[in-house]
């Protein structure tokens, strides 16, 4: 693997992610909010699948290294950054959504349930 900087979380903004919706460039999306927060919310990013953020190293082992991944939490801090860092430590092309679900909504990003 590369140097330790490849393990640090990398951010992507809602503004750069929204235009890729419905295109082959749209990444695989994981919602890593706390399960209670996820269950209480009536929306998520299109195609998103819920996963436990702290177990990203475990579920990340089953992911395709040829794909790009974006994880998000509520605000884009601890959970999203932690999950992205764990996925990157596996050599995956993974990012956290800067500002999380809040930034996505503020940018007018569509949600589904």
Query: 92 near 70, Cβ under 8 Å?
Result: no
User: pLDDT tens, 44-61?
Assistant: 999 999 999 999 999 999
What residue ranges in 2-109 does DSSP mark as E strands? 11-12, 28-31, 49-50, 68-72, 93-97
The Cα 46–Cα 44 span in angstroms is 6
Instruction: Write the pLDDT tens digit of every residue in 64-108.
Output: 999 999 999 999 989 999 999 999 999 999 999 999 999 999 999
The predicted model scores a pTM of 0.91
Report the distance separating Cα 83 and Cα 30, nearest Å. 9
């Amino acid at each position: 693997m590369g140097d330790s900087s490849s393990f640090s979380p990398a951010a992507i903004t809602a503004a750069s992610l929204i235009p890729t919706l419905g295109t082959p460039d749209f990444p695989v999306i994981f919602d890593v909010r706390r399960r209670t927060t996820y269950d209480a919310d009536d929306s998520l990013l299109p195609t998103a699948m819920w996963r436990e953020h702290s177990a990203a190293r475990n579920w990340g082992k089953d992911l395709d290294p040829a794909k790009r991944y974006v994880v998000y939490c509520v605000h884009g801090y601890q959970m999203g950054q932690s999950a992205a860092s764990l996925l990157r430590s596996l050599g995956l092309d993974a990012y956290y959504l800067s500002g999380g679900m809040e930034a996505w909504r503020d940018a007018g990003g569509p949600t589904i349930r």
